[in-house]
Amino acid sequence: MLKGKKILLTGVTGRVGGAFANALVQHNEIWGLARYSAPGSEDLWRARGIRTLARDFAAGDFTGVPTDFDYVVHPGAWAGVGGIEPAPNEAIRINAEGTGLLMAHCRDAKAFLHVSTCGVYAQNPDPDHVYIESDSVAGGPIMLDYTASKLAAEGAVRAMARVLNLPTSICRLNMQYGPWGDCGSPNRRILNNILKGLPIPVPPEGEGQARFSIVYNDDLIDFIEPCLMAADVPAIIVNWGGDEAVSFEEMARRMGAFVGIEPRFETLSPYMIPSTITDNTFRKQIAGPCKVHWKDGFREVVRFAHPEIAIRDS
C-alpha cells in the first residue's frame, strides 16, 4: 500500500474510484478530481479526508489543480451509465481526449496509472479463450460506445506517455466487485435478480459457460502500487483480472446459497455477454497473486449490500 504520497485520483464518486479513495486516503494525501454532481457527495468525501476538486477533466480546465503529484491514478470515465448517454464522438471526447489533457497537466508526476477495460479485446469465438495483453483489440461487442472510447483512450495514453516522457501503466480491468457502491455486476446482475425471483440469463447448452476473471476490490487496491512502480515509457499494458475464472451460473449458485434461495436460470439465444478470461501472468510478475477467493469476496458483498439478511454459509 502506498504511504505518504501526494496522489491525484479521478472518478472518486464512482464504484472503482470510490473504493480506491477510501483505502488510499488512510495513508496518503489524496486529491479527488470528480464532478461531484450528486447532492452532498463532495461534503461526504471531504469528511473522509479527501481534498476534493470539483472539475470535469474532459473540459480541460484544471484551474486550482496542483501539478506536483507523486502519482496519478485515473479510473474516472464515462461508462455508459447514470443516465448520461453521449454520442460516440462525445464518449471519445470524454474518455480519450480528456485523459490526454489530464496527462498533460500532470506531466511532472512520477507515474500515471490509467484504468482501461478488458472490453477492448476483440471477441474470440472460443468461450474458454484466455486473453493476453498482446491479443487483438476491436472495441468490444457490447457497450460499444464505451469500449470503443476506452480503446481510443488507450491510444491517447500511449501517445501522451511518449510525448511527455511520463511513465505509464494501462491496466485493463476485468469484472470488478466488492463492498463499495453498488458492489459491481455480481450484485447488480445476479444477487438482485435472485432476491427479486428473477432468472439469471445463461448461454444455450453447448455454447460453453460465460466466465470472467472476477477481481475483488482489496486485490485491485493491492495492484496499484506495484503497477505504478512498473510504469514505463512506452506505456505497459497489464490485465487486471482475478486468478479464478467464474461463470454466472457459479456466481448465482454461491449467492443463492448465502441467502437461502435457489437461483433460477433462463437460456438466452443469442447470448450477448461474451466470456472474458484473462491471462494474468504479467500482473502476477508485477503484483503477485490475488489474496481474496471469490467465494469469500461474495460473502462480503452480500453483507454490505444486504445487512438485513442472515448469511447462510455452506
Q: What is the CATH number of the domain that holds 250?
A: 3.90.25.10
Query: What is residue 19's predicted lDDT score, i.e. its pLDDT?
Result: 97
> Is the pLDDT score of 84 beyond 60?
no
C-alpha of 247 from chain center? 19
Q: Which band of pLDDT confidence, cut at 50, 70 and 90, is reported for residue 89?
A: confident
Q: Is residue 1 situated within a structural domain?
A: no
Mean pLDDT of the chain: 93
Query: What is residue 115's predicted lDDT score, i.e. its pLDDT?
Result: 98
DSSP string computed for 253-292: HHHHHHHT-PPPEEE-SS--S--BEE--HHHHHHH----S
70 neighbors 8 (Cβ within 8 angstroms): no
Whether residues 161 and 85 share a domain: the answer is yes
Query: What is residue 78's predicted lDDT score, i.e. its pLDDT?
Result: 85
31 neighbors 8 (Cβ within 8 angstroms): yes
Q: Which band of pLDDT confidence, cut at 50, 70 and 90, is reported for residue 82?
A: very low
- pLDDT tens, position by position, 56-67: 999 999 999 999
Please state the domain count of the chain: 2
β strands within 96-135, DSSP E: 111-117, 130-131
Q: Give the chain's end-to-end CA distance (angstroms, integer).
A: 33
Q: Which band of pLDDT confidence, cut at 50, 70 and 90, is reported for residue 87?
A: low
Whether residues 232 and 261 share a domain: the answer is no
Whether residues 63 and 202 share a domain: the answer is no
Q: Is residue 282 situated within a structural domain?
A: no
> Angle of helix 248-259 relative to helix 294-305, nearest 10 degrees?
50
**At 55, which CATH number?**
3.40.50.720
Hey, is 237 helix, strand or coil? strand
Which whole number is the average pLDDT over 107-129? Answer: 95
Whether residues 59 and 105 share a domain: the answer is yes
Whether residues 104 and 230 share a domain: the answer is yes
**Most confident residue range from 122-126, 130-134, 268-272:** 130-134
Whether residues 171 and 261 share a domain: the answer is no
Q: Is residue 285 situated within a structural domain?
A: no
Which whole number is the average pLDDT over 284-309? Answer: 96
Lowest mean pLDDT among 17-31, 71-85, 108-122, 141-155: 71-85
C-alpha of 284 from chain center? 18
Which whole number is the average pLDDT over 193-198? Answer: 96
Q: Is residue 283 situated within a structural domain?
A: no
Q: Is residue 259 situated within a structural domain?
A: yes
Measured CA to CA in angstroms, residue 229 lies from 20, 29, 61, 240 at distances of 17, 18, 28, 15
> Is the pLDDT score of 85 beyond 70?
no
Q: pTM of the full predicted structure?
A: 0.94
Whether residues 134 and 111 share a domain: the answer is yes
Q: Is residue 208 situated within a structural domain?
A: yes
Tracing cell 496542483 back to the chain, one arrives at 66
22 neighbors 48 (Cβ within 8 angstroms): yes
pLDDT exceeding 90 applies to what percent of the chain?
A: 84
pLDDT exceeding 70 applies to what percent of the chain?
A: 95
Which whole number is the average pLDDT over 159-184? Answer: 97
Whether residues 145 and 184 share a domain: the answer is no
Query: What is residue 83's predicted lDDT score, i.e. its pLDDT?
Result: 43
DSSP β-ladder status, 246-247 and 211-212 = antiparallel
Whether residues 168 and 191 share a domain: the answer is no
C-alpha of 148 from chain center? 16
Domain that holds residue 74: 6-176+213-240
Q: Is residue 48 situated within a structural domain?
A: yes
Whether residues 125 and 80 share a domain: the answer is yes
Q: Is residue 145 situated within a structural domain?
A: yes
Whether residues 193 and 149 share a domain: the answer is no
142 neighbors 272 (Cβ within 8 angstroms): yes
Which whole number is the average pLDDT over 178-195? Answer: 94
Query: What is residue 204's predicted lDDT score, i.e. its pLDDT?
Result: 87
Whether residues 19 and 44 share a domain: the answer is yes
- pLDDT tens, position by position, 132-171: 999 999 866 666 788 889 999 999 999 999 999 999 999 9
- pLDDT tens, position by position, 232-267: 999 999 999 999 999 999 999 999 999 999 999 999
